[in-house]
Copies of this chain bind each other. A is one copy, B any other.
Amino acid sequence: MSPYIHKVKYYECDPMGITHHSNYVRFMEEARVDFLDQLGYGFEKMEAEGVVSPVLNINVKYIKPSKFQDEISISVCLEKTSALKYTFHYVMKIGETTICTGESIHCFMENGRPVVAEKRFPGLAEALGKFSDGRIAGAEI
């Protein structure tokens, strides 16, 4: 899986000259969309199958600011955190420096009912456990 790159836009920066903190939640969504696309389970395919994955929680830890034109590299991994809840972990870096980490907790619903995602979507099963491999060590919030 290759990391997702977001290049900071002028309109994403605030009067302090740095990326407004709310935008990192959007970058997390962009990286999650890309991660699921790479697995073959893009939003559109899921929506076509009647599956949605509402966001239950968002947690973000801001470490260093970013600014206009910075290229933020975002690594994503996926962990099963309870019977029906899945946590995406995000590590955002500029070069080698971690500037922000985050997590988003989701469930997966099909026709209005919660589903065990890694049974329903084999690609997600493969993606699970990638958190333990150290690839995005330091993602803990």
Contact = CB atoms under 8 A, between A and B. Distances in A.
Contact of A22 (B14, B22, B56, B59): B22
A54 interface: yes
Interface of A: 9-11, 13-17, 20-23, 25-26, 29-30, 33, 42-44, 52, 54-62, 68-69, 141
A15 B61 CA distance: 23
B15 A13 contact: yes
A26 B52 contact: no
Given A10-B14, A13-B15, A14-B15, 11 more contacts: A9-B33, A11-B14, A15-B17, A21-B55, A22-B22, A22-B25, A43-B69, A44-B69, A56-B62, A57-B60, A58-B60
Main SS of the interface on chain A? mixed
Contact of A54 (B43, B58, B62): B62
14 contacts: A11-B20, A11-B29, A13-B15, A15-B16, A15-B17, A21-B25, A21-B58, A22-B23, A25-B58, A43-B69, A44-B69, A57-B59, A57-B60, A58-B60
A21 B52 CA distance: 14
